[in-house]
Each structure stands twice: as structure tokens, then as C-alpha cells.
Amino acid sequence: MSGRLPNNVVWREGVQVMRMDLHLHTEVSHDCRTPLRDIPGWMLRSNTRVIAVTDHDQQRGGPELQGVVRDLGLDDRLSVIAGEEVTTSEGELIGLFLSERIPPQLSPEDTVCAIREQGGLVLLQHGFDPFKRYRLRPEATARIAHEVDIVETFNSRLSRPHWNRVAATWAQGRGLPMSGGSDAHTLRDIGEAWVETPFRRIETPQQLLDALREGTVGGQWTHPVYAYGRKQWRVLNGRLRRDGPHQGAPR
């Protein structure tokens, strides 16, 4: 089956490069319908060779997608990081390389401890946009700043691009690796924010940190009102495409 999937290989100055999207959602999230089985083909098509599955308060999407990739024989081309977008008592934080689900509504400090206990990385996402309903509160960000491993400096769904620049300044001032996150809630949104870096497999936290430091952050910003409307259209269109051919068909 994998032989029929698209495989968009990109080279720059004789080096194969890939994109990494470290913040996206799947059908495991309560507000997303993207089937896990559809993601590997889109990853190959968009050259998004590394993704972190960060479903809302759920960790199982990453391991399940790893199984899909393995069954397709794509382990040598695609890397899937098991993560979770955790709802703390003061806003959201992302944990990467998780082996177990972290329960919601812990304090930010306890959430960080739970990520560390699993050997994971702490990613601060969309924490500087005051219009993001579930952003980590500024006072909480200040308290855990010394525990942050990665800062999302391009999020495709912020209210204004300005807040991505604020995040980049914050990360640069602390010498922290920077990432891109599409915050995708539909299949075609995956890969709209990225870090482009030389191609490699990503299996450990250190490999990810090294790849981020060698990479360049980029992305496509979409106004959240337009993004919401596009999401609703894509969901409806997907339903029509799935259901339409069966309308009136003989049984």
C-alpha cells in the first residue's frame, strides 16, 4: 500500500530536507475529525516527515498513529512523536515523548513534573497571544520559564502574527529551541507551520532538539475566523464525499 502513496522528496543544495510540525490534532481530540489512517499520506505529500500528535488531554493518538505508520512500512520515512496538549489549571502546555496520558487540571508545575517523569519535553505553545482562550497565563509562564524546553514561535492560528514574533523574542532571550505548530484540526492544515531541517529519523528528545537547532521556522498564518470557517467547510465537504455515493444506491 505504501508504494501507492505520494512521496514528495525535497532537496536544498544537495541535502534532503524535511518539515516538522509539532502541534496538531486528530480524531482523538474532541474537536477534530481527522482520521489517523489519512495522516501518513498527507505527511508524505507535504514533506512533513515529523509530526507531534498533541490531542487535547489525550495521549493515545501518537502511539496509534505510530502503529499505522509501522503497518504501512513507512518507519524509515516518517516519525511520529507521542504528545498531549494538557489543560492545566492555568492554561495549556504541550508534553512531547509521552508514554502515558497526563490528567488535566493539574497545576502547571505538577504538569511539568509529570512530563519530566516520563522523560518528555515541555513545549510552550501559543502562550503569548492574549486572545487565545486556553493559553498558559502569563504568571504561570513566568513560574515555569526555567522548565521550558521548546517554544512554539510560529502558530498558524494566532489572532495576529505579532504574537509569533513575541514568542520568538522570548525564546531567543533564553537560548531555547524554536518550533512551528499548525494547531491543525483538519487534515489539510497539517504542515501549515513547520521547522525545515535536514532529513533524519526522530526517535528521542535529544534528536528532536538537535533537529530544531539546525532548522528554520516557517509557516502560513491564517486569520482564526477564516480558519474556523474553512474547518467547517472541510468537515462538511468530507461528510458529503463519504456519504454522497451511497445515496440511493441499491443494497
Kindly list the structural domains of the chain, giving each domain's residue range(s) and its CATH number in brackets, ordered by start.
2-243 (3.20.20.140)
Contacts of residue 145, defined as CB under 8 A and 6 or more positions apart, other chains included, come to: 174
What is the C-alpha separation between 219 and 246, in angstroms, rounded?
A: 38
Res 88 pLDDT > 60:
yes
Specify burial of residue 54 (Cβ count, 10 A radius: 0-12, 13-18, 19+): buried
pLDDT of 56-78, one tens digit each?
999 999 999 999 999 999 999 99
Choose among 94, 90, 119, 88: nearest CA to 106. 88
CA distances from 12 to 2, 9, 199 (A): 25, 10, 11
pLDDT of 153-181, one tens digit each?
999 999 999 999 999 999 999 999 999 99
pLDDT of 9-52, one tens digit each?
999 999 999 999 999 999 999 999 999 999 999 999 999 999 99
**Which helix or strand (DSSP H or E) is residue 248 part of?**
none
Mean pLDDT for the chain? 92
Q: What is the DSSP string of 189-224?
A: GTTSEEEEEE-----SHHHHHHHHHHSEEEE----H
pLDDT computed for residue 222 by the predictor: 83
Question: Which carries the bigger pLDDT value, residue 121 or residue 240?
Answer: 121
Res 229 pLDDT > 70:
no
What is the C-alpha separation between 15 and 197, in angstroms, rounded?
A: 10
Q: How would residue 223 be classed by pLDDT, with cut points 50, 70 and 90? A: confident
pTM over 0.85: yes
Which triple of cell numbers denotes residue 64?
496509534
Q: What single-letter amino acid sits at 118?
A: Q
Res 105 pLDDT > 90:
yes
pLDDT computed for residue 249 by the predictor: 35
Which triple of cell numbers denotes residue 117?
517523569
Q: How would residue 241 be classed by pLDDT, with cut points 50, 70 and 90? A: low
What is the C-alpha separation between 187 and 88, in angstroms, rounded?
A: 26
Contacts of residue 1, defined as CB under 8 A and 6 or more positions apart, other chains included, come to: 72
Choose among 65, 73, 57, 122: nearest CA to 94. 122
Res 144 pLDDT > 60:
yes
pLDDT computed for residue 236 by the predictor: 62
pLDDT computed for residue 250 by the predictor: 32
Res 231 pLDDT > 70:
no
What is the C-alpha separation between 221 and 161, in angstroms, rounded?
A: 7
Q: What percent of the chain has pLDDT over 70?
A: 88
What is the C-alpha separation between 63 and 42, in angstroms, rounded?
A: 18
Coil, helix or strand at residue 86:
strand
- CB count within 10 Å of CB 97 equals 19
C-alpha 26 chain-centroid distance: 10
